[in-house]
Structure 1
Amino acid sequence: MPQNLTRRSWLVVAGSTLALIVGSSPIILQTSGLFMIPLGEEFGWTRTEVSGAKSIAGVVAASVVVVIGFAIDRFGLRRVMIPLVTVFAAAMAAIALTPNNLLVFYGLLIIASALGAAQNPPAYIKAVAGWFDRKRGLAIGLAICGTGLGTSLVPQYTQFLIDTVGWRGGYAGLGLLVLVIALPCWLFLVREPTRDERTELGFLPASSSAAGSDGTPAQLPGVDRATAVRTRQFWILVLGTLVASIALNGAAAHLVPMLVDGGMTAAQAAAVLLPVGIASLVARPLAGFLLDRFHGPTIAAIQQLMPIGGFALIASGWSPVLGAVMFGLAIGIEVDLGSFLTTRYFGLLNFGKIYGIIFAIFVLGSAVGGLIFALSFDYAGGYGLAFVVISVALVLTSASFLALGRYPFPVAHQASPARREEDTQPV
């Protein structure tokens, strides 16, 4: 790879990592609990009323992710992301203007969540994947680390603002943070490679460079959405993502209560969240490293079984901390895994449309997961029923990943067009 393009490629990764620090999850989801008490004190709203806005906004955001996926494939990344990042920043700041009207608060948060759907990993993964082939897994894993960093850092920043200038200043400060971090990344660092650059990188034959010499984004390899959704590979990824999201996000939402039920104090249980976060952060580049060296479906099958180990360690009381760390590792692997497999089975041409659906399923699973664990606790007297049912589903999806087969879009020049056509036929 030419040295200038090597530097350019890793700048895209760095820009993506930086921008995802202020992604939708750190900015909206991870800070929502910090505003519950201040909003309740000022307006008299209950915590259920305040948290209900987040639940509704999450469903809306899951739907909008799919639309954004279509848009970035149709119009290009920068044409979509630069305006959306700008208005997302404004929408977050606008929540600071909330009057004593719960419906207005719901509306403002839903609008911010819908616009913030752009600040989820899919757009950044598409940008990064376009610059990498052999080291694609590692590059994606490093980029997604931004979400983990944001989860650790943004709540601290937000709490400082709330303590210093109040909850209104907290929302205004979140909007400003998005504007000063994410927008410059899209203006100066994150973009798709042109056809000439993809040719120099070795992703396209040299004879194809002339058509893209004007600096426009290169025509990418891949299948259309209609073809993808008719394949068994697509539905294996969808079901595996749904089950893993329910298991991991549901367990994460109830992790502290689980540990307290097992005999820990609330302070001890909260302290366990630190190694869980570290495990999640480390798992992202580690997953990418492994995906570049081993067949992805094998990694996926193992990842699907990891929550079962976590359930067993917590339920038995043998090592709840190790069980929690297993959840952290599996969470860190999940997004990197799904996005990488999407690029290898369906290519990059319609990545936004295809992975947008899969990521929306992930978001919906995260919303449903906590409810499933709560129902198990309230109506079955504990989390045991949820553990058993979800574990059975995880075993089935783990086995299904082994049926994904070979990659239709492996590292460049490792497969002929005829083989790619054969491997992406509907099944």
Structure 2
Amino acid sequence: MTTSDPPSPRIEEWRSNWLVVVGSALGIATGMGVFSFVSSQFILPLQAEFGWSRTSQSLALNAQILAGLLAPAFGLLVDRFGARAIAAACFPLVAATYFGLAAMPNSLAAFYGLMLALPMFGMGTAGIVFSRAVLACFNQSRGLALAASRLGVAVAGVLLPIMCYGTIARFGWRGGYVLLGLLALLVGWPATRLLRRRGVSRGGNVSLSGFVQLLRNRHVLILCGAVSLTLGPIVGIIGQLQPILSGKGLALQAAAALGGVLAASIFAGTILTGALIDRVWAPLIGCLFTIAAACGCLMLSAETLSVNWAIAALALIGLGQGAEIDLAGFMIARYLGIEQLAAIFGITITAISIASALCGIAVAACYDHLATYDPALIAGAGLLVVAAILYLAMGRYPEPELEK
């Protein structure tokens, strides 16, 4: 290459849009998505103070079903008004919801109401927004750019469980919610300014008739099934992770620290998937990583867990969850284009929300009725195998690739 040769398209994409990736990384790392890393740390303190059973607390996920039903309409708003505008409006609302949880009285109704508000506002701080921002700027390196935008999740996932555990130990569970609110307000909200780039701040117009047609699209339906049957069981199990680990012989502090292992493996799955799907058929990657997560669930069903065994199990589960982060956005863009990307993402979020809520309730109820999580772990592994098969049903990529 001579000095007069233009840079490659991949390099030019990164030169022009690297700040979008940085802003997305900070936003995702402090948005609602990281709550899943620490949500289980609030179960036992709330049960001790208010007497709420694990099933009663998991019923708050029913609120997430209602919020998930709004996700397609929310996706239309993202496509119309752009990623930056939506994220900038939602981060203060997410912070306010966390502060509301910190001030919550002994009222399940208040808890359910705030847990309804969290995913409703939190959708504006999650992948549906930031994937739209990144995919609008990248074409040659979509998978790698999506993976890089999740770098902050790995850092937050390693540090946040330890930070939250220490905060709860010193200031109580209310302090834990305040910590989450401050991160959203002081880090996530300012980071949305980095999304001010051409093609990111303003979205495209999406017709309602075109959106209705998406509900009949074979690829949309298969992808919804695959992603929801993957994330549903994983989210349900992670939501009870600390009780699962402590109930099998691990100390509470060790169980909290293992959340960092999960976060690191999620990041590893994200990076590996991002690097591979630019070169390898994405459904095959989804199948293999989902099978890995199924093995991790089966490993957690052992009668007792050593630290090393738990690390291995969580690493496999994290690889599966990390893969989903890249796969959903990439496969939507690859099979269906980016014009209605956020709207399609909204449909998948609806499916994920329903599956996650039902699985979360089922996992908690399994313990309350049987005094063990093992049947739920085995059933979760079975659902993950079904999801792996569905990925392979996506078929070949359309040719030529849809770009608009």
When residues 393 and 100 of structure 1 are mapped into structure 2, their CA distance, relative to the original with a 3 A threshold, is closer
Whether 2:326 is the aligned partner of 1:361: answer no
Q: Deviation at 1:308?
A: 3.2
Whether 2:271 is the aligned partner of 1:296: answer no
1:122 to 112, 128, 136: 128
When residues 156 and 245 of structure 1 are mapped into structure 2, their CA distance, relative to the original with a 3 A threshold, is same
What amino acid is aligned across from residue 24 of structure 2 in structure 1? Answer: S
The 1-side partners of 2:221 and 2:108 are apart by: 39
What amino acid is aligned across from residue 71 of structure 2 in structure 1? Answer: V
Q: Deviation at 1:97?
A: 4.3
The 2-side partners of 1:307 and 1:87 are apart by: 33
SS where residue 236 of structure 2 aligns? helix
For residue 401 of structure 1, what is the aligned residue in structure 2? 391
2:230 to 241, 244, 266: 244
Deviates more, 1:68-77 or 1:362-371: 362-371
> Contact conserved, 1:250 with 1:371, CA < 8 A, in 2?
yes
For residue 15 of structure 1, what is the aligned residue in structure 2? 23
For residue 341 of structure 2, what is the aligned residue in structure 1? 351
When residues 35 and 244 of structure 1 are mapped into structure 2, their CA distance, relative to the original with a 3 A threshold, is closer
For residue 64 of structure 2, what is the aligned residue in structure 1? 58
1:181 to 182, 187, 192: 187
When residues 57 and 142 of structure 1 are mapped into structure 2, their CA distance, relative to the original with a 3 A threshold, is farther
Map Cα deviations across residues 252-289 of structure 1 (whole Å, 9 max, x no partner): 3455666667x644466666544333212211111100
For residue 134 of structure 1, what is the aligned residue in structure 2? 140
Q: Deviation at 1:54?
A: 4.0
> Contact conserved, 2:25 with 2:148, CA < 8 A, in 1?
yes
> Contact conserved, 1:23 with 1:147, CA < 8 A, in 2?
no
Whether 2:53 is the aligned partner of 1:67: answer no
When residues 269 and 416 of structure 1 are mapped into structure 2, their CA distance, relative to the original with a 3 A threshold, is closer
What amino acid is aligned across from residue 221 of structure 2 in structure 1? Answer: W
> Contact conserved, 1:243 with 1:365, CA < 8 A, in 2?
yes
For residue 107 of structure 1, what is the aligned residue in structure 2? 113
Map Cα deviations across residues 180-217 of structure 1 (whole Å, 9 max, x no partner): 21222212x1145349xxxxxxxxxxxxxxxxxxx966
For residue 268 of structure 2, what is the aligned residue in structure 1? 282
Map Cα deviations across residues 137-187 of structure 1 (whole Å, 9 max, x no partner): 111122123334333334444455556666555544533332221222212
1:340 to 327, 330, 341: 330
What amino acid is aligned across from residue 88 of structure 2 in structure 1? Answer: I
Map Cα deviations across residues 223-277 of structure 1 (whole Å, 9 max, x no partner): 943333222211111111121123323343455666667x644466666544333
TM-score by length of 2: 0.80
TM-score by length of 1: 0.76
SS where residue 30 of structure 1 aligns? helix
The 2-side partners of 1:312 and 1:107 are apart by: 34
> Which segments of 5 or more consecutive residues in structure 1 lack a partner in the other structure?
196-214, 410-414, 422-427
Q: Deviation at 1:10?
A: 1.4
The 1-side partners of 2:40 and 2:385 are apart by: 33
Residues 18-417 of structure 1 aligned to structure 2 (within 5 Å): 18-27=26-35, 30-31=38-39, 33-34=41-42, 37=45, 41=49, 44-46=50-52, 48=54, 51=57, 54-99=60-105, 101-158=107-164, 170-187=176-193, 189-191=194-196, 193-194=198-199, 224-253=210-239, 264-266=249-251, 272-315=258-301, 320-321=309-310, 322-374=312-364, 385-386=375-376, 389-408=379-398, 415=400
Q: Deviation at 1:393?
A: 4.2
Q: Deviation at 1:136?
A: 0.7
The 2-side partners of 1:388 and 1:255 are apart by: 15
The 1-side partners of 2:56 and 2:244 are apart by: 24
For residue 205 of structure 1, what is the aligned residue in structure 2? none
SS where residue 30 of structure 2 aligns? coil
SS where residue 361 of structure 1 aligns? helix
The 2-side partners of 1:32 and 1:387 are apart by: 16
> Contact conserved, 1:36 with 1:51, CA < 8 A, in 2?
no
Identity of aligned residues (%): 26
When residues 8 and 393 of structure 1 are mapped into structure 2, their CA distance, relative to the original with a 3 A threshold, is same
The 1-side partners of 2:297 and 2:53 are apart by: 29
Q: Deviation at 1:79?
A: 2.9
Q: Deviation at 1:135?
A: 1.2
> Contact conserved, 2:294 with 2:382, CA < 8 A, in 1?
no
When residues 191 and 226 of structure 1 are mapped into structure 2, their CA distance, relative to the original with a 3 A threshold, is farther
The 2-side partners of 1:372 and 1:39 are apart by: 18
> Contact conserved, 1:25 with 1:151, CA < 8 A, in 2?
no
> Which segments of 5 or more consecutive residues in structure 2 lack a partner in the other structure?
1-8
